[in-house]
Amino acid sequence: KNQVEQSPQSLIILEGKNCTLQCNYTVSPFSNLRWYKQDTGRGPVSLTIMTFSENTKSNGRYTATLDADTKQSSLHITASQLSDSASYICVVSVYDNNAGNMLTFGGGTRLMVKP
Amino acid sequence: DGGITQSPKYLFRKEGQNVTLSCEQNLNHDAMYWYRQDPGQGLRLIYYSQIVNDFQKGDIAEGYSVSREKKESFPLTVTSAQKNPTAFYLCASSTYQGAGELFFGEGSRLTVL
């Protein structure tokens, strides 16, 4: 069964500090891995998409890494800001010949940044 | 601006009533999706559509119905057969077969009284 596990479930950090969120997956065949940011009560917004051959991808203060051998990804947030308070969702894509890219969502990590 | 519009943002329903959630996109995307989000759980796929007049059941389709009469529109009906409909519903779209970026709407929160 395709699964995506994220850790920790929740995290509190002080403004200006760095943090790293983890994502482990058991998805096959792997197509790509995505990280989304979801503010409370809003729709998710894409941060990065990484294919099998990509190890690292950055989007401003967000840097995602991917180790396809160990099936692990991480999202590193640098110099956190209050606006980073949100849920971060890891999504792994499997390609199906009939259905196209089918996504498996992790449960998310809820990050709170305090002043 | 291009994007996905969901309405209503909040909806209250009495038990036994059907309700329809609207989803419209002007991104010219072929594929559209409906997801359900419950607290602490990952998004679960209800229905998806790759082209007009065609749609497929997702993992939790029971108690829901959809239509795709126009490329821009993919409404979701939550029927009285859905046992636990209170949830946050998200509509999304992407290029054909989800090959590209997945864009989400702002969501609709349904509460059954």
Q: Which residue has the higher pLDDT, A53 or B108?
A: B108
Give B95's pLDDT tier (boundaries 50, 70, 90). confident
Q: Which residue has the higher pLDDT, A57 or B80?
A: A57
pLDDT given at position B99: 64
Average pLDDT over residues B86-98: 87
- Residue A101: list chain B partners with CB under 8 A: 94, 97-99
Average pLDDT over residues B51-79: 95
Average pLDDT over residues B98-106: 83
Q: How far is CA B54 from CA A22, A57, B32, B33, B69, in A?
A: 37, 35, 11, 12, 9
Average pLDDT over residues B5-28: 94
Task: Measure B99 CA to nearest chain A CA, in Å.
Answer: 6
DSSP chain B: ---EEEE-SEEEE-TT--EEEEEEE-S--SEEEEEEE-TTS--EEEEEEEETTEEEE-TT-TTEEE--SBTTB--EEE-TT-S---EEEEEEEESGGG-S--EE---EEEEE-
Closest by Cβ to A43, choosing from B90, B94, B101: B90
B42–A102: do the CB atoms touch at under 8 Å? no
- Residue A44: list chain B partners with CB under 8 A: 43, 90, 104
pLDDT given at position B98: 60
Q: What percent of chain A has pLDDT over 70?
A: 100
pLDDT given at position B71: 96
Residue from B83, B32, B93, B76 nearest B62 by CA: B83
pLDDT given at position B97: 65
Q: What is the pLDDT of residues A17-46, one digit of tens each?
A: 999 999 999 988 888 999 999 999 999 999
Average pLDDT over residues B14-22: 92
Mutate to test the interface with B, among A10, A105, A109, A110 (most CBs of B within 10 A): A105
CA distance B54 to B69: 9
Residue from B57, B70, B4, B112 nearest A46 by CA: B4
pLDDT given at position B1: 62
**Which residues, given as ranges, of chain A have pLDDT below 70?**
none
A37 touches chain B (CB under 8 A): no
pLDDT given at position A100: 75
Q: What is the pLDDT of residues B27-55, one digit of tens each?
A: 999 999 999 999 878 899 999 998 999 99
Average pLDDT over residues B52-81: 95
pLDDT given at position A38: 96
**Contact (Cβ atoms closer than 8 angstroms) between residue A4 and residue A23:** yes
CA distance B68 to B30: 11
A99 touches chain B (CB under 8 A): yes
A97 touches chain B (CB under 8 A): no
